[in-house]
Amino acid sequence: MGDKELIQSHGGSLVNRIRKDPAADKVAASIRLTQRQQCDLEMIAVGAMSPLEGFVAEADYHSICDSMRLTNGTVWPIPITCGVDDAAADRISVGDRVGLNDDRGRLLGHLTVREKYRQDKRKQAVKAYGTEDTAHPGVQVLMAEGDTCLAGPIDVVTPRHDPMFPEHRLAPAQTRSEFERRGWQTVVAFQTRNPIHRAHEYLTKCAQEITDGLLIHPLMGATKEGDIPGEVRMRCYQVLIENYYHLGHTMLSIMPAAMRYAGPREAILHAIYRQNYGCSHFIVGRDHAGVGDYYGTYDAQKIFDQLPEGGLKIVPLRFEHAAWSKRAGCMVSGKTFPKIEGDQIFLSGSKVREMLTRGERPPAEFTRPEVADILIRAMTE
């Protein structure tokens, strides 16, 4: 990268599949997309899933499952598919132009069907998620999807009707433009689907020391039941940034992706997204994109070592678990301070939720008081 030149998008060029003239489109049929498919449609349309221009074809589907590559060799870890049920598949033929609607029947865009194929759900579950257990939220969504995949390029009229947080819903071209306006060449992205607690704050500020700017980039697409609502999380991010971050080196934007909870492979997918958004570095912490006990603590870091040299341009920053040390009087990790029994303050997510529900404030060593106030109000209303 030259002076003030941002990182290249994945695959070499940023995709844009948004068009504003649906009047000329004649459709053979229309389908309603699932919540995850709607998120994927938006991510493809705005270029966050570059180089994908639509839902993947059968050869790419199997290549992704088997080797984490598209058939052209480009790194891609999880198939992005449009599965439909048998009734929809029977009325759609290869070559058809299909209308893509949201769950309220409103038009989002169109798919030109290049292929129809049966997806191998068992294979995809084992390869992408590491399990066939339908208690896994990502596998559960996969198994509920239709068995026939429609593959082909998309043209999107509107990425989302009534989008959440439109002022923070920046597409990759927009974040790149903002980074350039700010004079940032190196940018570190922080992925989160939860409020930021003190350990997360510590990781992001360590990363800020070696980059020009920090993009706090929460996932605001489909998540699982029990996750904290997006509106609450946004209030937490905003109050934290206003009070505890340098505004000249910190930026907040949301990412409208669906959470798959696929652990290691999803960590790679999240890194690809952030490379497309213009980030040069990406924080990968403990159990990134994990759920339950399906993945090892640092599997999401180790998987980056399996990629070919040059497979991704973005640099993963691998952090160990951090917590407040009473003896040191600060945040520490296994690399910065010895582990002493009873010294570190660590609270599980379930323990924190129990405290909040009772109106109890988590300790200041775990979360900032302004964030605790927002969470207590949300949990007790």
**What 8-state DSSP symbol labels residue 344?**
E
Residue 187 has pLDDT above 80, yes or no: yes
344 and 201: one domain?
A: yes
**What 8-state DSSP symbol labels residue 255?**
B
Q: Whats the size of the chain, residue-wise?
A: 381
73 and 147: one domain?
A: yes
Output the DSSP codes for 184-209.
-SSEEEEEESS---HHHHHHHHHHHT
Q: How much helix, strand and coil, in percent to the nearest 5, is found in the chain? A: 35, 20, 50
175 and 314: one domain?
A: yes
Last residue of a domain, one of 126, 156, 186: 156
pLDDT at 2: 42
Whole-number average pLDDT of the chain:
94
Place of tokens 């890194």: 271
- Beta strands 54-55; 148-156: pairing state: antiparallel
pLDDT at 197: 92
Q: How confident is the model at residue 347 (pLDDT cuts 50, 70, 90)?
A: confident
How many whole angstroms separate alpha carbon 283 and alpha carbon 227? 21
Q: What is the pLDDT of residues 223-252, one digit of tens each?
A: 767 678 899 999 999 999 999 999 999 999
pLDDT at 284: 97
Domain with residue 270: its CATH number is: 3.40.50.620
Q: What is the pLDDT of residues 313-335, one digit of tens each?
A: 999 999 998 999 999 999 999 99
> Is residue 15 in some structural domain?
no
> Is residue 21 in some structural domain?
no
Cis peptide before 51 (omega within 30 of 0): yes
Residue 3 has pLDDT above 70, yes or no: no
Q: What is the pLDDT of residues 33-75, one digit of tens each?
A: 999 999 999 999 999 999 999 999 999 999 999 999 999 999 9
Output the DSSP codes for 57-79.
PHHHHHHHHHHSB-TTS-B--S-
Domain with residue 73: its CATH number is: 3.10.400.10
> Is residue 6 in some structural domain?
no
> Is residue 20 in some structural domain?
no
Last residue of a domain, one of 94, 124, 156: 156
Which two tokens mark 10? 């994945």
363 and 232: one domain?
A: yes
Residues noted as catalytic: 193-194
Last residue of a domain, one of 106, 130, 156: 156
Residues 316 and 351: beta-carbon distance below 8 Å: no
Output the DSSP codes for 114-171.
-EEEE--HHHHIIIIIS---TTSHHHHHHHHS-SEEEEEEEEES-S-SS-SSGGG---
202 and 342: one domain?
A: yes
Q: What is the pLDDT of residues 366-376, one digit of tens each?
A: 999 999 999 99
Mean pLDDT, to the nearest integer, of 15-27?
79
Residues 50 and 74: beta-carbon distance below 8 Å: no
Residue 304 lies in domain: 166-380
144 and 197: one domain?
A: no
239 and 358: one domain?
A: yes
Q: Hey, how many other C-beta atoms are within 10 angstroms of the C-beta on 375?
A: 23
DSSP bridge pairs for 18: 156
Residue 1 has pLDDT above 80, yes or no: no
Q: What is the pLDDT of residues 65-118, one digit of tens each?
A: 999 999 999 999 999 999 999 999 999 999 999 999 999 999 999 999 999 999
Q: How confident is the model at residue 355 (pLDDT cuts 50, 70, 90)?
A: confident
57 and 192: one domain?
A: no
Count of domains forming the chain: 2
Q: Please state, for a pLDDT cut of 70, what percent of the chain lies above it.
A: 96
Q: Where are the alpha helices (DSSP H) in the chain?
A: 35-46, 58-67, 86-90, 121-124, 137-144, 172-182, 198-208, 230-244, 264-276, 299-302, 349-357, 369-380
Which two tokens mark 107? 């038009």
121 and 217: one domain?
A: no
Sign of CA dihedral 141, 143, 148, 153: positive
Q: Hey, how many other C-beta atoms are within 10 angstroms of the C-beta on 53?
A: 16
Q: How confident is the model at residue 22 (pLDDT cuts 50, 70, 90)?
A: low
- Widest CA span in the chain: 69
pLDDT at 253: 98
Place of tokens 């340098």: 246
Q: What is the pLDDT of residues 122-168, one digit of tens each?
A: 999 999 999 999 999 999 999 999 999 999 999 999 999 999 999 99
